[in-house]
Structure 1
């Protein structure tokens, strides 16, 4: 399949697609690593007021489970804090929890404080907001991910406030929870989380919280895009507490690990690269490191492009790939976020998704790309 793709100078360059990757769903899930894909949501483009297309949203979760991956529900990839409100999030958690039970899929769900208005709030109100969301997740059968809170970041006066809030939450969870350290490149409102803008001080603060409540902590998801810092934190964790990498730049080396340990995975990039991720993890299970590296290698340029600055617009690229790959019928997003990336950015994304073997039906992908370029005023 061929298509003419535009360049920034207005010229059109012929592009020939490669062969799709041969990554069928595995017979059994990988076992050497725990891996979750943070899943996007699909909006109903004809609804007014806006609502989700529930069947397509849930079908995508079934796709992830079919590849042996767990689903990280209601996380940043699902546009928490960027269009998805709490009532819709609550329904998403409930519906996904029911789907997980029906098919035996693993699921973790984000608990936040986004039912509160923006800005500072009393710590008791922040705790109560978290508690409400934790109750919904536990009732749905999910493992909670205690997400970083914008309201807590705006209200805390130092590490002691974080210790107090997280101590109250971890003292009452029904099952061990996952903590969540999201760097400001993903959300500028979280600058200085854990009580300090100095990342070494912040690490000491969160490690102290984990040490005080290790029995209630399954692990911590770290999204700082800094492999060295993640490895240092991983090595400092108490025995039995996992480090879930959220590093969408350096995931192959962090998941592979070293002679002192490895990271598990809770990644937004596993949404668009699920078939390749499952195949790579299967190769790791089999001890075939060469295959592991070979499968993951072409996904890294794609990931780095999707998560390019401004990183928080990565959701646009995730949904664009899902549309090109045939998982949904349109490229529309909650809150109109499909407009957040430029034409040149998405053209390059098309090329990289193809080169990673992630467009299973090249004819469909080309037809959709041509239609989209026409809407953008580009003849292809």
Structure 2
């Protein structure tokens, strides 16, 4: 049954949804790559919140999470063999989800992971700080969050810090803070380099806006304590730069791609190595991504690319500038796929993308067969169009 979808030029175009989804099975554990999905949080749609600043800004509204639906989505990812990267930017850290609720999310998700045998790594940041902070205060904030993550038995991901970006005056300041944290960590951590396209406040991270100079600082941190670094997550949307960095990592330190534009080629790798994955796009692509990696596990790189390459158009659409609002499309697809009962987000972020953008996301995801029940997805998309007054 056709559905009318709005286009950016204001016109409507008829689209015929598919009638059958792709079929995915849980299968064997992933073997050749370590793969994390950065998972979104499900908001409580009935919470009485009153945003006092524009959507997308920290403090836009109190964080009210539907814990049952949020944990159910994580069980969905684990059931397909993916690891969960918890309390990352996909979960709206710094964009509506405050530290108090992020800490609760970490505790609950880690307990759930232990109960079902799922792999979990959790974001460690400094978002409990408000206003300008000294380097010592930044370090203390990191330590508090690191202690919380380690107390749950989860692996720690040292996230880029807005407060550190503001407080640091040189690359040496970054080295001092990170070397202190690596000495404190009880187990190897993942270092996360998040580019300014995901968060403009992180411009100049590692002490320079020159990415070559920043890369040298980043590598210096790793070289100082390689035994405390499990891997690095690189989110710069630059495949060539990631490959260059990957080839310079110390033996035993992994590269986890965070490149939502070029992930198939980076995960497939080349004759000199490959990237593991820690990706926001693997939230909506979870079952398909796991199936592709299982194909790669057999040595069939061509089959892997055949499954995953067609998803890049959807990913590039969701992550188009302003990239930080990709979460809106991720949550839309979770609603259309039946993983949650509503299209509502913490901080009202469901309004951060236009209707034509959302319509195109639906069309691309449906074309890939991502919706377990295409009829449900069509019905829900139609109900959203009704809110905007789009005719049948």
TM (norm. structure 1) is 0.98
Displacement of 1:291:
1.7
User: In structure 2, how many angstroms separate the alpha carbons of the residues matched to 1:20 and 1:211?
Assistant: 50
The aligned residue for residue 47 of structure 1 is 47
The aligned residue for residue 71 of structure 1 is 84
* Residues 102-251 of structure 1: pairs in structure 2 closer than 5 A: 102-118=115-131, 120-251=132-263
User: In structure 2, how many angstroms separate the alpha carbons of the residues matched to 1:58 and 1:229?
Assistant: 35
Q: Which runs of 5+ in 1 are unaligned?
A: none
Does the residue aligned with 2:370 lie in a helix, a strand or coil?
A: coil
Contact 1:25–1:68 at 8 Å: present in 2 too? no
Evaluate the alpha carbon distance shift between residue 122 and residue 28 of structure 1 in structure 2; reply closer, same or farther with a 3 A threshold: same
User: In structure 1, how many angstroms separate the alpha carbons of the residues matched to 2:259 and 2:105?
Assistant: 25
Work out whether 1:349 is the aligned partner of 2:361: yes
Contact 2:295–2:303 at 8 Å: present in 1 too? yes
The aligned residue for residue 93 of structure 1 is 106
Provide the aligned C-alpha RMSD in A: 1.1
The aligned residue for residue 37 of structure 2 is 37
Contact 1:25–1:66 at 8 Å: present in 2 too? no
The aligned residue for residue 81 of structure 1 is 94
The aligned residue for residue 12 of structure 2 is 12
User: CA offsets per residue over residues 45-90 of structure 1, 9 Å max, x none?
Assistant: 1122451000000000000000100000000000000000000000
Displacement of 1:20:
4.4
User: In structure 1, how many angstroms separate the alpha carbons of the residues matched to 2:9 and 2:289?
Assistant: 35
Evaluate the alpha carbon distance shift between residue 14 and residue 141 of structure 1 in structure 2; reply closer, same or farther with a 3 A threshold: same
Displacement of 1:2:
2.5
The aligned residue for residue 338 of structure 1 is 350
Work out whether 1:280 is the aligned partner of 2:292: yes
Contact 2:343–2:350 at 8 Å: present in 1 too? yes
User: In structure 2, how many angstroms separate the alpha carbons of the residues matched to 1:163 and 1:24?
Assistant: 44
Contact 1:170–1:213 at 8 Å: present in 2 too? yes
Work out whether 1:359 is the aligned partner of 2:371: yes
User: CA offsets per residue over residues 304-356 of structure 1, 9 Å max, x none?
Assistant: 00000100000000000000100000000000000000011011111100111
Contact 1:254–1:263 at 8 Å: present in 2 too? yes
Which residue, out of 256, 270, 276, partners 2:268? 256
Moved more, 35-44 or 282-291: 282-291
Evaluate the alpha carbon distance shift between residue 307 and residue 9 of structure 1 in structure 2; reply closer, same or farther with a 3 A threshold: closer
User: In structure 1, how many angstroms separate the alpha carbons of the residues matched to 2:35 and 2:20?
Assistant: 23
Contact 2:21–2:373 at 8 Å: present in 1 too? no
User: In structure 1, how many angstroms separate the alpha carbons of the residues matched to 2:140 and 2:157?
Assistant: 16
Displacement of 1:176:
0.2
Report the count of equivalent residues.
Answer: 379
Q: Which runs of 5+ in 2 are unaligned?
A: 50-61
Displacement of 1:21:
4.3
User: In structure 2, how many angstroms separate the alpha carbons of the residues matched to 1:262 and 1:347?
Assistant: 34
User: In structure 2, how many angstroms separate the alpha carbons of the residues matched to 1:353 and 1:129?
Assistant: 39
Contact 1:71–1:108 at 8 Å: present in 2 too? yes
Does the residue aligned with 1:366 lie in a helix, a strand or coil?
A: helix
User: In structure 1, how many angstroms separate the alpha carbons of the residues matched to 2:102 and 2:248?
Assistant: 34
Contact 2:158–2:192 at 8 Å: present in 1 too? yes
